A and B are shown apart, each in its own frame.
Chain A
Amino acid sequence: AQKITQTQPGMFVQEKEAVTLDCTYDTSDQSYGLFWYKQPSSGEMIFLIYQGSYDEQNATEGRYSLNFQKARKSANLVISASQLGDSAMYFCAMRSIQGAQKLVFGQGTRLTINP
């Protein structure tokens, strides 16, 4: 079975600082994908970034990057130069080749950016 663990219920960061949101995962599959989603206070789920298990380089999308450490089974999200609009709930999720029908989510981290 797949499992995602996000150990930080809440994070508080000063504006313009970089922030790392932790995510560890567990799966016995060799082929899988890791996703990060942002949920602002308005409630919608916004897809941010994807990392495949065979990708040799860390994924990047603008100010978002994914620090992928396969041996440690971690997929941390890094947000550079944080902005007030980054305040939101962030979810790590996984989809594996054996269970591609099911996107498994962590419990989320609430990020608050202070001015």
Chain B
Amino acid sequence: NAGVTQTPKFQVLKTGQSMTLQCAQDMNHEYMSWYRQDPGMGLRLIHYSVGAGITDQGEVPNGYNVSRSTTEDFPLRLLSAAPSQTSVYFCASSATGFSYNSPLHFGNGTRLTVT
């Protein structure tokens, strides 16, 4: 089992460029989410999905777009990169988005730098 797979591991963008961070899971999890981690701020939720075709905003959604066409994949799109989006991005999944006792399983992260 690969679990949650994120690509790429590292990325450097110039201000204004767009890109897509890929996330795939092979655990048949209904729930998938994207977090960003910044120093001193813990992890903050960007967007999440409770199933194919269903997405919603988290705490810091501005500048990001998501879609969920399959159970396995949940890509995160940066529409026009800004230096404030320099961060480490984590994709995470759990069996369900409606149970408080289900732990999240994380990918290994993508370190993004916007110059």
Contact = CB atoms under 8 A, between A and B. Distances in A.
B40 A103 contact: no
Nearest to A48: B103
Interface residues of B, number: 30
B109 A43 contact: yes
A62 to B, nearest CB: 16
B5 to A, nearest CB: 12
Contacts of A91: 42-43
A47 interface: yes
B42 A45 contact: no
A4 B88 CA distance: 21
Interface in A81-103: 91, 95-97, 100-103
Interface size class of A (residues with CB under 8 A): 20 to 34
A45 B105 CA distance: 8
B105 A47 contact: yes
B45 A107 contact: no
Interface of B: 31, 33, 40-45, 48, 50, 56, 58-59, 88, 90, 92, 96-106, 108-109, 111
